[in-house]
Amino acid sequence: MAEGRRDAFSAFHPAVNFIFFLIAIGFGVVVQHPVYLTAGLLGAAAYYFLLYGKKGAKLLLALLPVACLIALFNPLFNTRGDVVLFLLFGRPYTLEALLYGCAVGGMLLLMMLWFGCYSAVMTGDKFTSLFGNLIPSLSLLLVMIFRMVPELARKGRQITEARKCIGKGTGAHSRYRDKAKEGLTVLGCLTAWSLEGSIVTADSMKSRGYGCGKRTSFRLSRMTGRDWGALFVMAVLAAGFLTFAAMGSTEAAFTPKLSFAALQGWNILGFAAYCLYLLLPAAIHIEEALRWRAWKSGI
């Protein structure tokens, strides 16, 4: 995934960023109500596109078919439901199972969007400064894992281009067997490169005295009044949503019968708190961009 652009929400304290994503992802995993799920997708997509711009559309276009396949294939394995749309291979294809598949596919898409935003905002140095002194070994391991995926993708592209330059790559009209063989060759090169890199990294860390004493962080982060204000707003909105969720505002059942909590009365307040919480990063980003544009126009 391409690196995201810096935004106003990224300038907040790492604790603010981490707590926001922790709660947002937690809400997304637990809540299956269609209205809440749709709101979550819109909030995550809005912030994702603000971070990645046009490049963000590529991931969304790649994930949409996967979500649709999950929705379509779920009734093949889950036949529970009262409304039978048709019979397929002698098994009922039910509306309830189809809608549940849509919910599962939507949750997968939501998680991918939030984790894409997380990878752009919670950089390795932020995570290390936040947890380096509490869990130094685990924080280092997680940072290296998060860094590995984009690094391997970048190195894979370099190897592929280099092989094409010496006439050993495959073209658009190559046979599938040749493409598979080329892919295995590139994978072998990546494996050798990553193993060699791990040995070099281990030797470098050992020579620099890693683990010999208490570590320090080059990133000095201090909570400011703006950070505390953001945490207060997040806490109020999250508490408001959880209060109404505990009262049943997010209840949703797909099988054997469809049953969703009505979005009316006091439940609207819980839904509003949920939407406002998810839109906080996008709102901060847009507000900062408008202030910057107003300042430039005044010069």
Q: What is the pLDDT of residues 181-208, one digit of tens each?
A: 888 888 888 888 878 877 887 777 777 7
For residue range 141-174, what is the model confidence (pLDDT) as tens digits?
Answer: 666 666 676 777 788 888 888 888 887 777 666 7
* Average pLDDT taken over every residue of the chain: 81
The residues spanned by each domain of the chain are 9-208+219-297
Say if CB 44 and CB 278 are below 8 A apart.
yes
Phi-psi group of 53: left, alpha or beta (phi > 0 → left; psi -120 to 50 → alpha; rest → beta): left
Using the predicted structure, report yes or no on whether residue 295 has a pLDDT greater than 50. Answer: yes
In the chain, at which residue ranges do the beta strands (DSSP E only) sit? 84-88, 91-94, 252-253, 259-260
- 10 Å Cβ neighbour count for 176? 8
**What single DSSP character describes residue 11?**
G
Q: What is the pLDDT of residue 279?
A: 92
Q: What is the pLDDT of residue 89?
A: 77
For residue range 21-45, what is the model confidence (pLDDT) as tens digits?
Answer: 999 999 988 888 889 999 999 999 9
CA distance 253 to 268: 19
Rg, C-alpha atoms of the chain: 24
Cα–Cα nearest to 230, from 163, 289, 168, 283: 283
Q: What is the pLDDT of residue 2?
A: 41
pLDDT classification of 1: cutoffs 50, 70, 90? very low
Can you name the residues that pair with 247 across neighbouring β-strands? none
Q: Which two tokens stand for residue 296?
A: 């430039």
Q: Which two tokens stand for residue 248?
A: 């049943």
**CA distances (Å), origin 132, targets 142, 209, 215:** 11, 16, 8
